[in-house]
Structure 1
């Protein structure tokens, strides 16, 4: 962690491209990376929820990360999500991430056999982080998915004692009181990456300086404008841009949410990431037409 730099701005949670057979389509990633590099996005969050990590094999996750690192070419940072219900698998993925050249690792909490206390969560993550001891580690907090709703501020303080490379959290929760407490710890010692695209303005107002989001992939200019407006204390302009984000999220919710709807939007903007793996059903031709109509109705393609 000698050259560690804190994250700022947008980190896109990337989709995992699939071909018509449902196999990982690595060939799309180079074009995808070029698109990311052409925007104000500062990094990518690979094989997270948006990347369907729980539907991928360990070998697939390794190949996807390797392709992203190679395609990024140091133009933006690559954060490897290594989370798994199996601690040994997470350790293997963390070790691989360090060897592959990732800039950081992150992990969601195990969600089948759940840790019931902060100490149990720390004990789960400590060996994972030792497997990539030179990389910064972010705890991916998403209680709506994991059912693990432990105090993140306490995890950061206590976890740092056993996990030297713990630097912060990807905070995908709408508990702004808890988020503020995390940001305020020890004179802003820890990074808090805001994780809810549709309320980014709220996270920035609490003091976050970076965010991880799936919709950053296809409307980066909207979020860049929110970041820049908030830096200038222009809340009215930031709010206007945030409403464009909200309108977009309202549309994708109609089509099954951020992963399914987001992949379809990526195809519409020219980066075909294919369908999701089951149990998320593929888009029909009729749905693509309806989606485009709904996006046209909110002037999405002019954002």
Structure 2
């Protein structure tokens, strides 16, 4: 297995760019737009991101075809982009094991830092017991022996009994040498005691996936973070990390409280569409490009879009000074 450099600092959960299909195909109105990733990666790097997490929930993996996911990760793994970032982590989780491995082989062959895996989510066709969860991870690990593996622990894919209690399960898996490529987790749960045990007693690299909980996570010694709002708040969150390192906890707390309010605001209406539009304002100002104002979500209404536009105006007025 290739060496894995421990994560540190901010890894941004990347947004997948979309554009309207020029052929005006009503069955496929939007397609991904990899042409803007060069500028997008520069924007993230300049704002203090040490890495990216590609094809996760923020990247809309559940509504992308396997071919779209391959195109997306290929774009992020170009040498010109890869060289700007310490880590390019590719999420490969999905319902079809064959596609999971196909994505993983591609990531491994194209110099990804690691691959991340969720569990399949529909209970009837997904592992639920301890034995079956370990066996699933084991089969992924042994099928992809050359690349470090992360578990993407998040509600909705990790069974509810385990999402806040992974330590016993992973200890059993590691003690039995069932997952030899496992190096860490993106831990999108607020049970930092479980995360602390995984880090301290199993030696796993833990990146906390709850942006608004950075201050609490820092106090427990976590130094790596993956999240969606780092698309716009990387500099401010990096400042919190610096303040905590120098013991300036009061200023860190004050800034954290304001960021928490901003996050609560931006997540109140059509979060991912609203986040995309806010990021676009910065990208257009700096590079003249956009991630697209539309997504492949087939259920959004015109009212949703209008509400999102209105929230963007309010958000920029109230929190524009926080944006990178």
Q: State whether residues 97 and 132 of structure 1, in contact with CA within 8 Å, keep that contact through their aligned partners in structure 2.
A: no
Shift of 1:62: 0.8
Q: State whether residues 248 and 295 of structure 1, in contact with CA within 8 Å, keep that contact through their aligned partners in structure 2.
A: no
**Residue 277 (structure 1) aligns with:** 296
1:234-291 Cα offsets, whole Å, 9 max, x none, are 221221221232122112122222x222112112222522222124527636642441
Residue 116 of structure 2 corresponds to residue 106 of structure 1: yes
**Residue 259 (structure 2) aligns with:** 245
**Which secondary structure does the structure 2 equivalent of 1:218 belong to?**
helix
Shift of 1:147: 4.1
Of 125, 132, 136, the residue aligned with 1:124 is: 136
**Which secondary structure does the structure 1 equivalent of 2:262 belong to?**
helix
**Residue 155 (structure 2) aligns with:** 143
Residue 184 of structure 2 corresponds to residue 168 of structure 1: yes
Q: State whether residues 119 and 157 of structure 2, in contact with CA within 8 Å, keep that contact through their aligned partners in structure 1.
A: no
**Residue 65 (structure 2) aligns with:** 57
Partner Cα distance (2:295, 2:111) in 1: 27
Of 93, 101, 114, the residue aligned with 2:103 is: 93
Shift of 1:295: 2.7
Partner Cα distance (2:299, 2:146) in 1: 36
Of 273, 277, 281, the residue aligned with 1:268 is: 281
Q: State whether residues 4 and 136 of structure 1, in contact with CA within 8 Å, keep that contact through their aligned partners in structure 2.
A: yes
Q: State whether residues 114 and 148 of structure 1, in contact with CA within 8 Å, keep that contact through their aligned partners in structure 2.
A: no
Of 81, 84, 107, the residue aligned with 1:75 is: 84
Unaligned 5+ runs, structure 2: 21-28, 284-288
Unaligned 5+ runs, structure 1: none
Of 247, 252, 256, the residue aligned with 1:233 is: 247
Q: State whether residues 295 and 301 of structure 1, in contact with CA within 8 Å, keep that contact through their aligned partners in structure 2.
A: no
**Which secondary structure does the structure 2 equivalent of 1:277 belong to?**
coil
**Which secondary structure does the structure 2 equivalent of 1:89 belong to?**
helix
Q: Which moved more, 1:126-135 or 1:20-29?
A: 126-135
Partner Cα distance (1:192, 1:175) in 2: 12
Alpha carbons of 1:106 and 1:51: their partners in 2 closer, same or farther (altered >3 Å)?
Answer: same
Larger radius of gyration: 2
Partner Cα distance (1:222, 1:249) in 2: 13
